[in-house]
Amino acid sequence: MIRQVVERIYTLVMDRPLKKGTVVAARYMIKRVLGMGSYGISYVAWDLVNNVDVVLKQARKTKIKMAKGKKAFEYEAKLLQILSHPNIPSLHEVIQNKQGHFLVMDYIQGDTFEDLIFREGKSFSEREMLNIVWSILDITVYFHSQGIVHRDLRIPNILCVDGQIFIIDFGLARFLHDMPEEIDDGFIEKKLMREISVQSDIYALGHFMLFLLYSGYEPTSLLEKSWEEELNLSGDLTRIIRKMLQLDPPYETVESLREDMIHYLDGNEIGRKEDGII
């Protein structure tokens, strides 16, 4: 018990976020903490050379001392160096010095869909959902073509900036040729989302679609029902989502999902090209 308390105090001290105004590598001045995860702390920082905001992602000092933590940091840096897409933040620099281990990336200033739904109370129509998912699929096709799966395509990691979609946080991403990982927490949803396969990203996007569709849903009964009962979706769209969620034989590629979406859009007024959906 005493040892656990000491370890907890040590972790809190070692992993304390950098203070506002701290300058990293004589160039990046910390403005504020952006987020904190199990392996890292992200900051918005001011680039004193280029006079722009950047994201500084710091590996937790207690994690980087472990082989697993150091490997995770180096892995993410290697993966981000491969990606070059206007809707994915670029990696500018990898810093390893006495202050810590940092990744310097583009700062995309916008709202995540988690913010839009839960903080702003925004709801999305089926038309809007399809337009958004189509944009996400375009980006997903790109990183899949680079042999990379994101494995965390959730509402906190997808941003909307003036109508443009961005995908962030590749901290859980893997190369498709990597060995499978053991997921032993018993939740089938987590296992399906963390698989090192293109189906894991498609599965996550199926849940993303449901989040957007439920954003405007108002229950008419106190009884809990399945999404298929609660949402007023056509049979074709229901079949697409069921395949994405692997309730039916799943899609093998994002391209095959896009083909089904095109057929669905072409067969409905919502899919007219002049409406800007495809």
Q: State pLDDT tens for residues 223-266.
A: 888 999 999 899 999 999 999 999 999 999 999 999 999 988 88
Give the pair of three-digit tokens for residue 106: 């583009």
Question: What does the alpha-carbon distance between residue 141 and residue 124 come to, in Å, rounded to a whole number?
Answer: 24
Q: Are 23 and 48 in contact (CB under 8 A)?
A: yes
Look up the CATH number of domain 111-275: 1.10.510.10
* Selected residue with higher pLDDT from 9 and 64: 64
Q: Catalytic residue numbers?
A: 152
Confidence of residue 150 (pLDDT cuts 50, 70, 90): very high
Report pLDDT digits (tens) over 89-101. Answer: 999 999 999 999 9
Look up the CATH number of domain 14-106: 3.30.200.20
Q: Could you tell me the residue ranges of all domains in the chain?
A: 14-106, 111-275
* Selected residue with higher pLDDT from 62 and 166: 166
Question: What does the alpha-carbon distance between residue 100 and residue 137 come to, in Å, rounded to a whole number?
Answer: 35
Whether 14-106 shares its CATH topology with 111-275 is answered: no
The pTM for the full model equals 0.88
Residue 201: HSE in the Cβ half-sphere, 13 Å Cα cutoff: 31
Q: Are 69 and 75 in contact (CB under 8 A)?
A: no
For the chain, give percent helix, strand, coil, nearest 5. 45, 20, 35
DSSP strands (E only) in 15-128: 23-24, 28-36, 40-47, 52-59, 91-97, 100-106, 111-112
- 275 pLDDT more than 70: no
Q: Identify the pLDDT of residue 8.
A: 56
Q: Identify the pLDDT of residue 276.
A: 46
Q: Which residues of 106-124 are buried (b: 16+ CB within 10 A; e: fewer)?
A: bbbebebbeebbeeeebeb
Task: Find the mean pLDDT for residues 114-143.
Answer: 95
